[in-house]
Structure 1
Amino acid sequence: MNSLIPKSRAALLAGTFALAALVLPPRMAGAQDLTIAIGGSVTSLDPHFYNASPNHSAAAHFFERLTDFDSNAQLRPALAESWKPVAPDVWEFKLRPGVKWHDGRDFTADDVAFTIERAPNVPGSPGGFGAFVRGVKRVEIVDPLTIRFHTPGPYPLLPVDFASLFIVSRHVGEGASTDEYNSGKAVVGTGPYRFSSYTPGNRVQMTRNDNYWGGKPDWASVDFRIISNPGARTAAMLSGDVDIIDTVPTSDIPKLKQDPKLQVTSVQGLRLIYLAADRSRDENPVFVTDNDGKPLPKNPFNDLRVRRALSIAINREALAERVMEGTAKPAGQWLPPGTYSYNPDVKVPAYDIDGAKKLLAEAGFPQGFKLTLHTPNDRYPNDAKTAQAVAQMWTRAGVQTTVEALPWSTYSVRSNRQEFGIRLLGWGSLTGEGSYALVNIMGTYSQETRFGANNSGRYSNPELDALTVKATSTLDDAEREKLLQQAVKLAMDDVALFPLHQLVNTWAVKKGLKHEPRMDERTRAMDIKPGES
């Protein structure tokens, strides 16, 4: 797989593309409607509220970014036509002319400046976007279509960071609350579709933006449905009620492939399924007790021996082959082989039940202890089944484990409030390189440094933070990769998280439609083309 971050510094820093590179293929005419069904719940239409894949997928129809990733996780222009460093600590972006907001107002550099201000400061955000503007020290508007970003020092990843940040307008967004985005009042973007309605937990409906700068969109209307139950999602696909579904249940793939009216598309994904232990408490850990159900005085997850024991008590090969039925690869780190900053010296932890028991005894738990593993039951393929399998493995090692499975809409809020002892999560490194996870899910949580926005377990390792900062300020690609590989080893030696497996992204699509599967697992109307009429 090609990495996002090229091997030559020039290739990344040049970042200047001809306009022709973004000319889109001709659009097909026709008033056609599209119905999409996704498994994950869209928790908000505020594009800066929660950094979660379902929210990204929905928001991408209305809002756009300065830069973007294509289906193979390669960086490309979007609202910015080009970008380049004009000093070691200054990036200049040239914005696309002629772009209009849905209400007809011009898109300008002032909207970008407003977005930089707003993104890290959304009230009540359970996991926001501060990390993607942490490299911006000061914004300088040169003219309506030229903007410069002053960074604290050399920062080569700014164009990459901006590919995760939707741009909102100042004239609509200033003072607008998340509730106003959810009502649709503030959903005024530059994207290919306009807001029609949003019913939380049910659907987002949208209509074509005929004045879209990239050309007339293919679909007159899009019904973006949320069907969290895997069986119901498959049934909707088989009955013809929907045109495409994501996160196809692994057990249903053979049946869907055999249906002559359907096709299955897939691609190796960038999402890691992992476990995160609560490190926010030194004493009185939640959902962890001794074998008699009495509270433990100290948090066992703060003991490296316990973390290593739990890690080697997991049979990752069995999870990938049996639970995931071959649709996932066992993981010992957060990126798949072949990506930039993957460390070949960090192996998948070998399953060793006796070694796990020995480590637990050394940590003062010769008889183990009890814990509850929390998991969503409607977010990732086989999420609850994976948690049940891990619980059985840990129980065999002497850690009596029960599972509590919750809907994602409830689970995500509680997880980000540190209400769980240990939980199952997923993280898609859509940049195709290691710093995205290091900053967001392993960086020490800090509003000041804007690290750890999605670090729900509150893991903290100052040595790892320092190495991450050093890597992300290193201009030379080869040297930066070495530093990131060191960070991968440091994080995994410390069991910063428990990697389980990397997903293969799979969709079922009506025969005749053309679907381009994405490594970042987004499901969007823009990636689905009508068949030949």
Structure 2
Amino acid sequence: MITNKYLLLAGALLLAGCQPQEKSAAQAGLIYCSEGALQTFNPQLTNLSTTLDAVSFPLYDRLLEVNPITLAIEPGLASHWQMSQDGLTYTFTLRKGVMFHHNANFVPSRPLNADDVVFTFTRLIDTHSPYNPVSGGRYPYFHSLGLDRLITSVHRQGEQVVFTLSRPNAAFLADLASAYAVILSAEYGEQMLRAGTPEQLDRQPIGTGPYRLKEYRDRQFIRYQRHDAYWKGPAHLEQLVFDITPRSAKRLAKLLTGECDVMGYPAASQVKVIQEHDDLALSVQSGMNVAFLALNTRQPPFNDVRVRQALAYAINRENLQQAVYFGTGEVARALLPSLSWGYDPATVLPSPDLVLARKLLAEAGLGQGFEMTLLLQSGTRPYNPDPRKSAQLIRNDLAAIGVRVKIQVQEWSVMQRTLEAGRYDAVLTGWQADNTDPDSFFRQLLGCHAIAAGSNVSRWCDPGFEQLLDDAVSSAKMGFRIRNYYYAQQMLTSQMPLIPLAHALQTQASRRDVQGLTMTPLGGTLFNGAYRK
């Protein structure tokens, strides 16, 4: 019998039918209140954390995985691998008996094999692949890192897969373990191509993960069904629903009434309420993320380093921490969080100094101040629990030096077009790391190739900085890599193309009877171990 609290989901979110003999949602599955709508069911096509959280881990697997506790790279779909002595060839041996999902249009005839890996990466690196232009043909993660230029070939060698690189790259294995590097079905791709509907590969996904797609309603919910043939063993719960609820107040209300079992990214101001409620549990995890103010360095006056430095001296990051994060984060001292092995503890970002900020503006010919527009997305983010309030506090700080800020909130689809056109002053945004390598932060956010890919929204490109990154990944010597990343952080502190603001803790609230959820520092939650006690 289905209880009234689940009827509040208007039937669409019911995890079981209305027949008396069928299990209720509470018995059969779990409802997760998520903070945002997804863009696509293929993580390769996006760089939005909301899509990764909802899609990558429930639906797919990767060749390699990141251990959520130790952050070490471990075997995934590849049971083991070898690197050639010159660092240019990687050979992966795949697990046997890994089965893909099925749907109404496709039933796999075989387990995963090397053809699937070749198909997946050929689409990304070969412009002659019939799948390369499908769904827009943009692969921001891979293009930002330059993987389309790094990987010269990927081919099958018996039952193994061989990647050949154009140059050694110490971050390559970490890139293959990222949430973006999911493995698709070549057999499904071929069938959809013959049917003239290749885009279905990205809309009606087939993966090897613990859950398969059952139903999706745009901006309402995603319903997943357990993949009983999952190679790690079937998940405990039969079904998993992502209830798309952008407003954190509404997510908390649903959690309190039992309409949701788990709430993603509660607002920092809600933490105390959650902790005081006997039926709720709060989980906290260190986060590999950063919130920052990106300045469009290709547009005056932000092409003047003195203006960028002045804004950095005017912003009170401690105030942001107290008024927005409420103890669920730490003030950013660099772009990298202290959790990263590349973090330079000697890096010191400017402390508030309004006198110096006004002096720098005067030297730049802007002693009377100027007007600027600050773009941001609505809703909470893994790296910022309240972007709107953050923007208001920044506006107040900058007003003290004569900079008049107009805040403009945009939906992602609109903002994406604005960013692509380059017609903006500044963006309040952030980054949730996809792997543990510092290259993921620096190259995605500030690499020259990342401008066209859309992740470098400061549009800053410095050949010297780029050379530091290239040299760092060309060496397997950890000391050399760390030294280069220290130099990179010093350069960023001097040039200030973006202003790091905070590193947020990953927080999640759940009903106390839900056990076995695993949060990761890289964002997202692993649901295959979840159960009800």
Cα 1:464–1:178 change in 2 (3 A) is: farther
- Measured against aligned partners, the alpha-carbon deviations of 1:348-393 in whole angstroms (never above 9, x if no partner) come to 3211111111100101100010011111121421111111111110
Alpha-carbon distance in structure 2 between the residues aligned to 1:278 and 1:300: 9
1:148 paired to 2:162: yes
Map residues 32-431 of structure 1 onto 2, 5 A cutoff: 32-59=28-55, 60-72=57-69, 73-88=71-86, 89-102=88-101, 103-104=107-108, 105-119=110-124, 121=132, 123=136, 125=138, 127-130=140-143, 131=145, 133-134=147-148, 135-144=150-159, 146-164=160-178, 165-174=181-190, 175=193, 179-181=199-201, 183-184=203-204, 187-281=205-299, 299-380=300-381, 381-431=385-435
Deviation at 1:155, TM superposition (A): 1.8
Q: Which residue of 2 aligns with 1:444?
A: 448
Alpha-carbon distance in structure 2 between the residues aligned to 1:421 and 1:523: 34
Deviation at 1:132, TM superposition (A): 6.9
Alpha-carbon distance in structure 2 between the residues aligned to 1:230 and 1:410: 22
Q: Does the 8 Å contact 2:189/2:198 carry over to 1?
A: no
Cα 1:251–1:31 change in 2 (3 A) is: closer
Alpha-carbon distance in structure 2 between the residues aligned to 1:313 and 1:412: 28
Q: Does the 8 Å contact 1:266/1:506 carry over to 2?
A: yes
Question: For structure 1, which segment, 188-197 or 501-510, has the greater mean C-alpha deviation from structure 2 after superposition?
Answer: 188-197
Alpha-carbon distance in structure 1 between the residues aligned to 2:188 and 2:257: 41
Deviation at 1:409, TM superposition (A): 4.9
* Letter paired with 1:358: K
* Cα RMSD, aligned residues only: 2.1
Map residues 463-474 of structure 1 onto 2, 5 A cutoff: 463-474=464-475
Deviation at 1:181, TM superposition (A): 4.3
Alpha-carbon distance in structure 2 between the residues aligned to 1:334 and 1:157: 18
* Letter paired with 2:292: Y
Give the TM-score taking structure 1 as reference length: 0.85
Cα 1:280–1:107 change in 2 (3 A) is: farther
Cα 1:124–1:405 change in 2 (3 A) is: farther
Alpha-carbon distance in structure 1 between the residues aligned to 2:163 and 2:141: 21
SS at match of 2:480: helix
Q: Does the 8 Å contact 2:30/2:237 carry over to 1?
A: yes
Unaligned ranges ≥5, structure 2: 1-25, 102-106, 126-131
Alpha-carbon distance in structure 1 between the residues aligned to 2:222 and 2:420: 25
- Measured against aligned partners, the alpha-carbon deviations of 1:2-28 in whole angstroms (never above 9, x if no partner) come to xxxxxxxxxxxxxxxxxxxxxxxxxxx
Q: Does the 8 Å contact 2:34/2:243 carry over to 1?
A: yes
* Letter paired with 2:52: H
Deviation at 1:338, TM superposition (A): 4.5
* Letter paired with 1:401: V
Alpha-carbon distance in structure 1 between the residues aligned to 2:423 and 2:139: 13
Q: Does the 8 Å contact 1:262/1:508 carry over to 2?
A: yes
Alpha-carbon distance in structure 2 between the residues aligned to 1:206 and 1:446: 33
Q: Does the 8 Å contact 1:441/1:453 carry over to 2?
A: no
Alpha-carbon distance in structure 1 between the residues aligned to 2:448 and 2:68: 31
Q: Does the 8 Å contact 1:248/1:508 carry over to 2?
A: yes
Deviation at 1:199, TM superposition (A): 2.1
Q: Does the 8 Å contact 1:69/1:163 carry over to 2?
A: yes
Cα 1:416–1:330 change in 2 (3 A) is: farther
Q: Does the 8 Å contact 1:248/1:507 carry over to 2?
A: yes
Question: For structure 1, which segment, 221-230 or 132-141, has the greater mean C-alpha deviation from structure 2 after superposition?
Answer: 132-141
Unaligned ranges ≥5, structure 1: 1-29, 282-298
Q: Which residue of 2 aligns with 1:12?
A: none
Q: Which residue of 1 aligns with 2:437?
A: 433
Alpha-carbon distance in structure 2 between the residues aligned to 1:373 and 1:147: 46
Q: Which residue of 2 aligns with 1:485?
A: 486
Q: Does the 8 Å contact 1:309/1:360 carry over to 2?
A: yes
Q: Does the 8 Å contact 1:126/1:413 carry over to 2?
A: no
Deviation at 1:124, TM superposition (A): 5.5
Alpha-carbon distance in structure 1 between the residues aligned to 2:65 and 2:269: 33
Deviation at 1:97, TM superposition (A): 1.1
Deviation at 1:247, TM superposition (A): 1.1
Work out the percentage of aligned pairs sharing the same amino acid: 27
Deviation at 1:74, TM superposition (A): 2.7
Q: Does the 8 Å contact 1:417/1:456 carry over to 2?
A: no
Q: Does the 8 Å contact 1:126/1:416 carry over to 2?
A: no
Alpha-carbon distance in structure 2 between the residues aligned to 1:177 and 1:445: 31
Cα 1:349–1:41 change in 2 (3 A) is: farther
Deviation at 1:64, TM superposition (A): 1.2
SS at match of 2:240: strand
Deviation at 1:343, TM superposition (A): 0.8
Cα 1:132–1:94 change in 2 (3 A) is: farther
Alpha-carbon distance in structure 2 between the residues aligned to 1:430 and 1:446: 15
Alpha-carbon distance in structure 2 between the residues aligned to 1:407 and 1:227: 15
Deviation at 1:452, TM superposition (A): 5.3
SS at match of 1:341: coil
Alpha-carbon distance in structure 1 between the residues aligned to 2:436 and 2:375: 28
Cα 1:117–1:472 change in 2 (3 A) is: same
* Letter paired with 1:136: I
Q: Does the 8 Å contact 1:43/1:409 carry over to 2?
A: no
Alpha-carbon distance in structure 2 between the residues aligned to 1:245 and 1:473: 41
Report the number of matched residues. Answer: 479
Q: Does the 8 Å contact 1:127/1:416 carry over to 2?
A: no
Cα 1:181–1:419 change in 2 (3 A) is: farther
* Letter paired with 2:89: V
Cα 1:314–1:178 change in 2 (3 A) is: farther
Alpha-carbon distance in structure 1 between the residues aligned to 2:397 and 2:139: 31
